A and B are shown apart, each in its own frame.
Chain A
Amino acid sequence: MSTWLVIRSAQVPVSFRLNRRVPSLLMILGILILAMMIASIGYGEYPIPPLDVVKTLLGLETSNADYAFIVNTLRFPRVLVALLVGMALAIAGTITQGILRNPLAAPGIIGINAGAALAAVTLIIVFPNVPISLLPLAAFAGGFTIFTLIYLSAWNGGSSPIRLVLIGIGFSLMTAAITNILTTFGNINSVSQALVWLAGSVYGRSWDEVNALLPWLFVFVPIVLIMARDLNVLNLGDEIARGVGTALEWRRGILLVSSVALAGASVATAGTIGFVGFIAPHIARRLVGPSHEGLLLTSALTGGLLVITADLIGRSLFAPIELPCGLITSAIGAPYFLYLMIQQRKY
């Protein structure tokens, strides 16, 4: 009968609606993520059976005393970083695609990630003594600067979507070039540290990174979820959004800042993991449609699952050599991007 699931209270003025498929899909994605996390934690030079992984995570006794150290200190934070980074990138992408009304406008494609990377690399190479918790802040500033530049030079009240993407790619390349110059001429120790990080990998990430990333998600994810309805009307264009009574500039501003913050924080944590913010919202839109109430969470979990899976593939494909997970996501994302570009030629 209806495609909506309505939650409504007769006593208090509270009501919500969602695409009927959302709860079961979120559950399926959650189960897949858990399974993939357990597989990923168990996999490695020192394999751990799934049951022991679960036991260790729950703090139960296992047959091997080493498991606790391997799981809790080495592998679990890494997988957690993969999950959080994937979620943050996916939400950031859902926002920019929604507001700019352009399926190609993901933070990685229009240069936000590159800007964030440049700022973070500058911090690592030029100011090597700065603590790691400041990296997200620098990345945010870098991403925001690039976004402002793109906005001023390309967007201009809703010009053609392709124009925005092309200018974004231009900025992205210029920023990457400056990053290259920095890594070529910088101090060798800080450069090697920067390079490991730039590759877009969750290799060797510890609880420090988890703790630096979490606050950003705790602040910005709820803000974005509350503003799902605003994203819906912004997705219909400026005039409709204003017509139904949105305080347009404010809402758009808050959402874009949230997007840059989430993208920046994840770039600061794991480097530039390409195309997650681009593909995850696409997959999610296919699953639950374009209404953001359900789309944001579905997209977030899809992004998390993507990065965890990409990391596992990257570790196992040519083991013992590790491929950075950013390489895997790009290998999937780049052809899909081309496909969409070709499809969009009508613009």
Chain B
Amino acid sequence: MQVHPMKTDISESYALTTRKLALAYDQVTIIEELDLAIPTGKITALVGPNGCGKSTLLKGLGRLIKPRNGVVYLDGNAIAHQSTKAIARQLGLLPQSPVAPEGLTVKELVAQGRYPYQTWLQQWSKTDELAVDQALTTTEMTELSDRPLDTLSGGQRQRAWIAMTLAQETDILLLDEPTTFLDLAHQIEVLDLLYDLNQSEQRTIVMVLHDLNQACRYADNLIALQDGCVYAQGLPNEVMTETMVRDVFGINSRIINDPVSGTPMCIPIGRKTI
């Protein structure tokens, strides 16, 4: 196994790193030669226009897509050299708008998160039960645990899916647009939950977000992607500039301070300004 030259250095502060990573679907290359480092214990938000490769990158980090080239390192070790079950105990991921089978209860769904810890003789250990109860408590889903998923509101359903990834007890969580299709209150509810998880348990969170202002408010580390390349990465204050918004999203804007959190806030300028 090839050892990364900066391995010691990286494993101290970066949960996930990529080196010359290339990701592609069939013949279409989405990401080419990407070097990236995701800081441990921080919330990282991936932003960028549709088709810039945010979701693809997230899938690549979560070994859902095999790299065409290059390597993804999980805590300094190449992800391709580890068993998928071992990775599932370190890294949990939630795809965009997942669908559960009809009639599946919240608790049954959350229990699926224990898959990487189970064997065919040991299918429901005390540890499994405690982890599931804990995940339900954290997401405030205990009271709804016997309800089928299809009877819940969008926000509750999303919390159930997050609970499933929490039951996996991983240090790293990757989430693809966890707030899509949710109304404003539920968007904030989900983001607050993720923020709490990061604060109380120092989990590393990487998420794709569409709303720039929410990304600036919740992320410690903002990554702006453009055509499969990192345009800028760093603190929201540094990354979120009028130039970045123009170059990456192709729209003029004003950046002001969010009156609530003090983080940058993007006011897009369209043709209708009056």
Contact = CB atoms under 8 A, between A and B. Distances in A.
Interface of A: 3-4, 6, 8, 13-17, 98, 101, 103, 226, 229, 232-233, 235-237, 239-240, 242-247, 285, 289-291, 293
B112 interface: yes
Interface string B95-106: 100111111110
25 contacts: A13-B121, A14-B122, A15-B124, A17-B111, A17-B123, A101-B99, A103-B102, A232-B112, A233-B112, A236-B98, A237-B99, A239-B98, A240-B164, A243-B62, A243-B88, A244-B88, A244-B115, A244-B116, A245-B85, A245-B86, A245-B89, A247-B85, A289-B103, A290-B104, A290-B108
A290 B103 contact: yes
A290 B108 CA distance: 9
A245 B104 contact: no
A84 B148 CA distance: 33
Given A13-B122, A17-B123, A237-B95, 16 more contacts: A3-B107, A4-B107, A6-B124, A8-B125, A15-B124, A16-B123, A233-B115, A236-B112, A244-B88, A244-B115, A244-B168, A245-B89, A285-B103, A289-B103, A290-B102, A291-B104
Interface in B64-116: 64, 83-89, 92-95, 98-105, 107-109, 111-113, 115-116
B105 A3 contact: yes
Contact of A245 (B109, B116, B146): B116
A17 B103 CA distance: 18
A240 B176 CA distance: 12
B56 to A, nearest CB: 12
Closest 8 pairs (CB-CB, A-B): A245-B88, A245-B85, A245-B116, A17-B124, A239-B95, A244-B115, A290-B101, A243-B93
B123 A242 contact: no
Interface residues of B, number: 46
B209 to A, nearest CB: 19
A291 B118 contact: no
B87 A245 contact: yes
Interface in B163-179: 164-165, 168
A243 B91 CA distance: 8
Max chain A Cβ within 10 angstroms of own Cβ: one of B104, B123, B165 = B123
A240 B95 contact: yes
A236 B100 contact: yes
B101 A229 contact: no
Max chain B Cβ within 10 angstroms of own Cβ: one of A6, A232, A244, A290 = A244
Contacts of A290: 101-104, 108
A226 B108 CA distance: 18
B84 A242 contact: yes
Contacts of B102: 103, 285, 290
A232 B125 CA distance: 17
Nearest to A290: B101
B148 to A, nearest CB: 8
Interface in B140-161: 146
Contacts of B86: 245
Contacts of A285: 102-103
Given A236-B100, A243-B64, A290-B101, A15 B125 contact: yes
